[in-house]
Amino acid sequence: MPAWIESLVVAIAAFGVVFGTVVIIHELGHFWVARWLGVKIRAFSIGFGPVAVERTDKRGVKWRLSALPLGGYVMFATAQTPDNDTLYGPKGLYEEQSPLRRIAIASAGPLANILLSIGLLAILAMTAGEQRISPLPIVGYVAPESAADRAGLAEGDKILAIDGTPISAFDELRAIVAARPNEEVAFQVARAQGEESEFRIRIDVAEDPNAPGKVLGRLGVAPRSETYRVGPFTALFKGAQGAFLQFAATAEYLGRLLTGKAGIDGLAGPIGIAKISGDVARAGAQDSATLADGVIGVTVRLTELAAFLSIAVAFMNLLPLPMLDGGAILFYVAEMARGRPLNEQLRAGLERVSLVALLILAAIVTWGDIGRTFGS
């Protein structure tokens, strides 16, 4: 199979899993809360546009898979739809609900995405764990052709002393080496196999990245990283923390975008998300030595991507723009404050303007996605 076809298949499959999960959970949030509040639901669709597959359940809900994988929707019964009182009566119509109930329904999609992100990050914290740099002076990596590599140091070796001075932390090792460029230094080492050995190593000379023109010593080793797994309560805390930080980072990026301090190339549409999903899946597989490790690696990376994408979808939908959940919430809040709905013509006009703006943004983002995907 040609490489480009393989890449395309991987990207489409990964995109379907990641984006499909995020969209389904978002729409199920609207669906569950609306059903709980007694609103009649006419259709639940993944995708927009022409219906590719449709099945009607015993409640009369049409479950659809539509042609354009750009999102999804839940269609509620309104006074304008036929058979609006078949199952629930007039009280089941969406517009008959109080503004507070409609706010709950509109908020449920983004909230479901936030909860999904927290849940996925919590699962990762309990299973895959998180990588932490060990403070101990244990070699976790040896750079090829470095002083350490030439001397024969290996991963797992523990530095006990330098020129007879005992050390207990990797930072001590780093500081001593940095201060002795081009000097021969004696290292007392506990080998990974158990025996102790002494190495006399001439320290490499490297430019100080924080002080141009100055040099420092470099051994060519990095500390060991360790995997830490946590219990369910700590995992939930870490999941919430990770989701909050991602939400804040997204808000910060939007602020820089609106003030001209960031470019629109940081945004991605379905094509860009598909490419990222494929790249992440391939990276997870390539970093693994066995098939089982590859499956685990791909699962972990795609789960992490789904968690961050879910926050991005929640944030976008909470923007106070007509045609988005945030815009609907804003309309309902205004209705509560005024004691009556907004003028229909005004609302329709705002929704048309918002739709045009969103379509223009989608076109720009898609054009950028195409350039980055097929131009690279």
Mean pLDDT of the 97-112 span: 95
Residue 82's pLDDT is 60
Distance CA 117, CA 245 (A): 11
| Residue of 227 and 368 predicted with greater confidence | 227
Q: Crossing angle for the helix pair 232-258 and 99-126, nearest 10 degrees?
A: 120
Q: Is the pLDDT of residue 289 over 60?
A: no
Question: Band of the pLDDT at 229, cuts 50, 70, 90?
Answer: confident
Residue 7's pLDDT is 65
**Beta-strand pair 130-133/158-162:** unpaired
Q: Is 344 assigned a catalytic role? A: no
Q: Is the pLDDT of residue 368 over 80?
A: no
Question: Band of the pLDDT at 339, cuts 50, 70, 90?
Answer: confident
Residue 270's pLDDT is 67
Distance CA 369, CA 146 (A): 40
Closest C-alpha among 42, 27, 70 to residue 366: 70
Q: Which of 69-83, 193-207, 239-253 has the lowest mean pLDDT?
A: 69-83
The mean predicted confidence, pLDDT, of the chain is: 85
Retrieve residue 233's tokens. Answer: 């309560």
138-142-146 Cα angle (round to 5): 125
Question: Band of the pLDDT at 161, cuts 50, 70, 90?
Answer: very high
Spell out a b/e string for 79-109, using b for 16 or more CB atoms within 10 Å of the CB, else e.
Answer: eeeeebeeebeeebbbebbebebbbbbbbbb
Mean pLDDT of the 360-370 span: 73
| Residue of 148 and 292 predicted with greater confidence | 148
Mean pLDDT of the 151-167 span: 92
Q: Is the pLDDT of residue 146 over 80?
A: yes
Residue 2's pLDDT is 60
Distance CA 320, CA 342 (A): 15
Q: What domains are defined for the chain?
A: 3-101 (no CATH), 132-227 (2.30.42.10), 231-374 (no CATH)
pLDDT tens profile 176-225: 999 999 999 999 999 988 889 999 999 999 988 887 888 999 999 999 88
Residue 376's pLDDT is 54
pLDDT tens profile 187-201: 999 998 888 999 999
Distance CA 233, CA 254 (A): 32
Distance CA 178, CA 206 (A): 9
Distance CA 212, CA 317 (A): 47
Question: Band of the pLDDT at 5, cuts 50, 70, 90?
Answer: low
pLDDT tens profile 298-308: 788 888 889 99
Region of 221 please: left (phi>0), alpha (psi -120 to 50) or beta: beta
Query: What number of other Cβ atoms are within 10 A of residue 350's Cβ?
Result: 17
Contact at 8 Å (CB) between 165 and 142?
A: no
Q: Which of 27, 54, 95, 96 is flagged as catalytic?
A: 27
Output phi, psi for 168, to 5 deg.
-130, 0
Output phi, psi for 118, to 5 deg.
-60, -45
Mean pLDDT of the 300-329 span: 90
Closest C-alpha among 169, 158, 226 to residue 196: 158
| Residue of 235 and 82 predicted with greater confidence | 235
pLDDT-above-90 percentage for the chain? 48
Q: Is the pLDDT of residue 330 over 60?
A: yes
Residue 12's pLDDT is 75
Does the reported pTM lie above 0.85? no
Region of 219 please: left (phi>0), alpha (psi -120 to 50) or beta: alpha
* Residue 174 DSSP one-character state: H
